[in-house]
């Protein structure tokens, strides 16, 4: 079981007062959602954001029919951590037990997202959506070192996605194959994919590309010859567009969530032949044209299937543009990939993470509007939860804020007051607060290429090369008398030309103090060891008569009147005094408790692979609050839910990834006089994949009936 502990608080009902739909209507007819996540697309790479050397009619039309955001950020200026933030609603600095995720996931990386963590896909699955991720993944597969042997689990399907097809890492790094769900497409057991490392002389051949297509790492795998033949760099955009259209048409009769993560416009720049030479800035611009076609193909599919009006489309990018060979060639042709912003991908200056973001939802999002609300990709989780009429616990919500009001309305005040921004280097973890931006070091914390011949040309030399101005930089170098850190007023100086560090010491002090709470942890033995659980542990007490009119306390030693309606459990009512492995006391009430962990009364250890659903009889609340205790896993697959008679979950509670059961409560006031029931769900088979529960106390009338 994992040693990293999480405290997950109680879910409460969500009221969508700002939606043009009642809560019931939103539940009955939820919108389809398509999230298009481009790769390395800069703030200045689209016509609707000022580009003139490329033409993006489909994306521009999307903006004209929706809302364009001018202060949206990827939270991280690096591909993998930005995707981590998007999926989990958590700053990537908090990942890996507080040590953070800072760079691209290596080829052999395991899945870096905890499968017990709530993801944007989980939010939609809870509401009955069909879910898919198509395109670039780059968050790892399996546990430990990924040996690339099937099945590639855990992976996307363990994070709430029903279906996955795409590029497993990035289009500039091996393996150059497609993955569908948890298998290599075209794999052959007699010719397995084998990782042999860099500079392998016997690596399987891959698509030849010209030098002007920019950098691509050599293959580091042998075998899987047929699988490699199915992969062609010039087919990626077309393949992912076709897969998207097919999946939408297959699922159009159900609410669906599609996360389309394109490889465009990441290097190498290999657009299909029909797009080559169509822009005014080389293969870089041609790749943008292919991306625009992909977006247009998806939008056309919605039109053809009468899905447009009930589909929310979000378009954005994983980070700012990179000044690689393709970006440099585009610049020479007159194109500025990040517009007038300072810096590039990997760095914490605005060009590294301020990205395009467009939201369209006909009839809900006012067409042709713009918003200057501060927003981060980390906010997608809470926003999607609000969109689908759900609430998140504090732990599930993590660092995410509900930005739905900024999508469908024009709030007078900022919803988000501050945002943590991560470059490649942890030394430059920065803070945005209102108009202020504080960087606790010199430079950008990004790439270190010093001349145009460098693929990773960036930092002060690149700033000077493109003609940007910054008070700390002179002739491509940081001035010797430059302040030790940076402060910018983005309201008046979005280009970050003037470092105000020495002019506003109080602002610097305040922001520096705030940033300390987000400092990455050092991998010390004490941090790697077991942490003290948080939360509100319930006391271990004898069984006592309840002063409430109804209770479920299992002191009969039997499951009745509860019923198992799905799955099976070996020893559902436990009575052990000590926990399995460490001998610590169970903090039960009385002698018995419900558990989805125990296989038998005398088992030496539990079994997280047991799964199922257990329900209580129907009851009619007659009081304010139900109290109970709960332990076990804190993920989205292990919980107790308060449900209406028709099965809608209105509140949830979880454990904290610890044996200690926590005090918990459900507010029954909104449901007085209505038939309700409790549901205990265990859908997890790994880690803290179980639930313990005890001592449900309330004022209610228990019915001799069960939900259908």
pLDDT digits (tens, 9 = 90+) for 306-325: 999 999 999 999 999 999 99
Using pLDDT thresholds of 50, 70 and 90, give the confidence band for residue 17. Answer: very low
Give the per-residue pLDDT at 539: 86
- For 404-461, write each residue's pLDDT tens digit: 999 999 999 999 999 999 999 999 999 999 999 999 999 999 999 999 989 999 999 9
Q: At 689, is the pLDDT very low, low, confident or very high (cuts 50, 70, 90)?
A: confident
- For residue 633, pLDDT over 90 is answered with no
pLDDT band, residue 658 (cuts 50/70/90): confident
Say if residue 175 is preceded by a cis peptide, omega within 30 of 0.
yes
Which of 613, 614, 624, 677 minimizes the C-alpha distance to 646? 677
Measured N-to-C along each axis, helices 282-304 and 57-64 cross at an angle, to the nearest 10 degrees, of 50
pLDDT at 27 over 60: no
* DSSP 8-state secondary structure symbol assigned to residue 354: B
Q: Measuring CA to CA, which residue among 200, 202, 118, 196 is closest to residue 160?
A: 118
Predicted confidence band of residue 659 (pLDDT cuts 50, 70, 90): confident
Q: Which residue shows structure tokens 């397995």?
A: 192
pLDDT for res 23: 34
Instruction: Give the separation between CA 666 and CA 650, rounded to whole angstroms.
Output: 10
| Rounded distance between C-alpha atoms, residue 413 and residue 403, angstroms | 12
DSSP, collapsed to helix, strand or coil, labels residue 370 as strand
Percent of the chain topping pLDDT 70: 94
Look at residue 145 and tell me whether its pLDDT is greater than 60: yes
Q: Which helix (H) or strand (E) holds 60?
A: helix 57-64
The pLDDT of 85-94, averaged and rounded, is 97
- Backbone Cα Rg of the chain: 26
pLDDT given at position 523? 54
- Contact of 204 with 222, CB cutoff 8 Å: yes
Residue 595 has pLDDT above 80, yes or no: yes
Question: Is a pLDDT exceeding 60 seen at residue 40?
Answer: yes
Q: Are 159 and 123 in contact (CB under 8 A)?
A: no
Instruction: Outline where 282-414 has alpha helix (H).
Output: 282-304, 325-332, 380-387, 394-397, 404-408
**Minimum mean pLDDT among 196-200, 391-395, 594-598: which range?**
196-200
CA-CA distance, 570 to 514, in Å (whole number)?
49
Chain segment 466-479, per-residue pLDDT in tens: 999 999 999 999 99
pLDDT at residue 22 is higher than 50? no
Mode of pairing for the β-strands spanning 163-167 and 130-136: parallel
| pLDDT mean over 578-604 | 85
Spatial separation of the C-alpha atoms in residues 141 and 112, rounded to whole Å:
8
Q: Which residue is listed with tokens 């000590």?
A: 578
CA distances from 192 to 151, 183, 184, 352, 695 (A): 12, 11, 9, 39, 53
pLDDT of residue 184: 97
pLDDT of residue 389: 93
pLDDT greater at residue 352 or residue 529: 352
pLDDT of 678 reads 97
Nearest alpha carbon to residue 263 among 289, 285, 302, 233: 233
Torsion angle defined by CA atoms of residues 515, 521, 526 and 528, in that order, rounded to the nearest 10 degrees: 140
- Token pair belonging to 345: 């991908």
| Full-model pTM | 0.79
Please choose, from the candidates 369, 260, 247, 309, the residue with its C-alpha nearest in 3D space to the C-alpha of residue 31: 309
Under 8 Å between Cβ of 642 and 628: no
Mean pLDDT across the stretch 178-195? 96
Spatial distance between the Cα atoms of 216 and 633, rounded to a whole number of angstroms? 42
Cα–Cα distance for residue pair 399/12, rounded to 1 Å: 18
Residue 300 has pLDDT above 80, yes or no: yes
Can you tell me the distance from the alpha carbon of 57 to that of 41, in angstroms, rounded to the nearest whole number?
Answer: 16
pLDDT value of residue 546? 81
Do the Cβ atoms of 117 and 635 come closer than 8 Å?
A: yes
Residue-wise pLDDT for 523-536, tens only, equals 544 333 334 455 78
The Cα 654–Cα 683 span in angstroms is 13
Task: Judge contact between 609 and 685, C-beta under 8 A.
Answer: yes
The string over 500-516, giving b where at least 16 C-beta atoms fall within 10 Å of a residue's C-beta and e elsewhere, is bbeeeeebbeebeeebe
- Alpha-carbon distance of 707 to 322, in angstroms, equals 56
**Cα of 559 vs its chain's centroid, Å:** 38
pLDDT of 588 above 90: no
- Single out the residue of 240, 218, 213, 234 nearest to residue 297, CA to CA: 240
- Dihedral, CA atoms, 462, 467, 468, 469, nearest 10 degrees? 110
Residue 603 pLDDT level (bands cut at 50, 70, 90):
confident
Q: How confident is the model at residue 15 (pLDDT cuts 50, 70, 90)?
A: very low
Question: How far is it, in rounded angstroms, from Cα 380 to Cα 359?
Answer: 12
634 versus 111: which is more confidently predicted?
111
The pLDDT score that the predictor gives to residue 320 is 98
Confidence of residue 581 (pLDDT cuts 50, 70, 90): low
Helix axes 282-304, 236-250, angle to 10 degrees: 10
Q: What angle do CA 311, 316, 320 make, to 5 degrees?
A: 175
- Whole-angstrom distance, CA of residue 514 vs CA of residue 495: 24
Judge whether residue 651 has pLDDT over 50.
yes
Residue with tokens 């010199």: 442
CA dist list (Å): 406 to 83, 305, 371, 374:
22, 28, 7, 10
Q: What is the spatial distance between Cα 73 and Cα 316, in angstroms, rounded to a whole number?
A: 9
Are 178 and 231 contacting, i.e. CB atoms less than 8 angstroms apart?
yes
Bridge partners of 196, per DSSP, are none
Percent of the chain with pLDDT over 90: 79
According to DSSP, residue 357 is labeled E
The tokens of 327 are what?
């970006």
Residues 359-409 have pLDDT tens digits of: 999 999 999 999 999 999 999 999 999 999 999 999 999 999 999 999 999
pLDDT for 371-382, tens place per residue? 999 999 999 999
- The answer to whether residues 173 and 217 touch, using CB atoms and an 8 Å cutoff, is yes
Count the neighbouring beta carbons within 10 Å of the beta carbon of residue 698: 25
Mean per-residue pLDDT of the chain: 91
């Amino acid at each position: 079981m994992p040693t990293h502990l999480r405290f997950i608080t109680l879910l409460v009902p969500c009221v969508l007062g700002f939606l043009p739909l009642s809560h019931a209507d939103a539940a009955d007819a939820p919108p389809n959602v398509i999230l298009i996540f481009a790769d390395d697309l800069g703030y200045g790479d689209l016509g609707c954001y000022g580009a003139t050397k490329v033409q993006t009619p489909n994306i521009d039309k999307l903006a004209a029919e929706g809302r364009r955001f001018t202060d949206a950020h990827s939270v991280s200026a690096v591909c993998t951590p930005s995707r981590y933030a998007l999926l989990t609603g958590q700053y990537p600095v908090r990942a890996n037990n507080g040590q953070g995720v800072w760079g691209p996931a290596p080829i052999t990386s395991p899945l870096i997202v905890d499968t017990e963590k709530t993801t944007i896909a989980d939010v939609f699955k809870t509401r009955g959506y069909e879910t898919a991720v198509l395109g670039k993944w780059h968050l790892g597969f399996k546990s430990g070192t990924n040996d690339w042997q099937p099945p590639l689990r855990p992976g996307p399907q363990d994070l709430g996605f029903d279906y996955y097809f795409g590029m497993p890492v990035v289009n500039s790094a091996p393996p150059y194959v497609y993955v569908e769900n948890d298998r290599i497409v075209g794999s052959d057991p007699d010719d397995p994919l084998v990782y042999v490392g860099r500079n392998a002389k016997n690596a399987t051949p891959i698509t030849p590309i010209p030098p002007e297509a920019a950098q691509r790492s050599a293959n580091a795998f042998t075998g899987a010859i047929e699988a490699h033949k199915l992969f062609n760099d010039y087919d990626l955009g077309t393949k992912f567009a076709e897969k998207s259209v097919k999946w939408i048409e297959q699922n159009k009769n159900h609410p669906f969530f599609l996360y389309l993560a394109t490889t465009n416009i990441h290097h190498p720049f290999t657009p299909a032949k029909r797009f080559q030479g169509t822009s005014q800035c080389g293969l870089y611009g041609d790749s943008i044209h292919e991306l625009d076609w992909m977006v247009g193909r998806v939008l056309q599919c919605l039109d053809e299937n009468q899905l447009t009006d009930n589909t929310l489309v979000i378009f954005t990018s994983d980070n700012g543009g990179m000044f690689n060979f393709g970006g440099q060639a585009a610049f020479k042709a007159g194109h500025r990939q990040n517009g007038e912003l300072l810096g590039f991908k990997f760095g914490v200056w605005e060009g590294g993470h301020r990205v395009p973001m467009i939201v369209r939802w006909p009839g809900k999002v006012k067409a042709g509007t713009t918003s200057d609300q501060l927003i981060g990709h980390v906010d997608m989780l809470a926003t999607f939860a609000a969109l689908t009429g759900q609430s998140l616990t504090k732990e599930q919500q993590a660092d995410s804020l509900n930005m739905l009001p900024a999508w469908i309305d024009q709030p007078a005040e900022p919803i988000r007051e501050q945002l943590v921004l991560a470059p490649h280097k942890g030394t430059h973890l920065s803070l945005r607060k209102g108009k202020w931006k504080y960087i606790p070091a010199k430079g950008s914390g990004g790439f270190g290429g010093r001349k145009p011949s460098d693929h990773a040309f960036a930092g002060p030399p690149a700033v000077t090369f493109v003609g940007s101005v910054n008070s700390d930089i002179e002739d491509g170098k940081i001035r010797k008398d430059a302040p030790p850190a940076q402060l910018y007023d983005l309201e008046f100086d979005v280009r970050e030309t003037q470092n105000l560090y020495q002019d506003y010491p109080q602002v610097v002090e305040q922001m520096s103090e705030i940033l300390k709470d987000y400092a990455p942890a050092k991998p010390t033995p004490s941090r790697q060891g077991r942490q003290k659980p948080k939360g509100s542990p319930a006391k271990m007490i004898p069984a006592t008569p309840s002063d409430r009119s109804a209770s479920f306390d299992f002191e009969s030693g039997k499951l009745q009147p509860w019923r198992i309606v799905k799955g099976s459990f070996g020893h559902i009512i436990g009575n052990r005094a000590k926990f399995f492995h460490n001998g610590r006391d169970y903090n039960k009430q009385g002698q018995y408790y419900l558990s989805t962990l125990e296989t038998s009364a005398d088992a030496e250890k539990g079994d997280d692979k047991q799964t199922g659903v257990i329900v209580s009889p129907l009851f009619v609340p007659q009081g304010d609050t139900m109290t109970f205790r709960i332990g076990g896993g804190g993920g989205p697959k292990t919980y107790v839910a308060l449900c209406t008679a028709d099965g809608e979950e209105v509140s949830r509670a979880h454990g904290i990834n610890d044996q200690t059961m926590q005090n918990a409560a459900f507010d029954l006031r909104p449901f007085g006089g209505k038939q309700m029931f409790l549901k205990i769900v265990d859908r997890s088979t790994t880690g803290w994949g179980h639930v313990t529960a005890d001592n449900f106390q309330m004022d209610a009338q228990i019915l001799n009936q069960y939900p259908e």
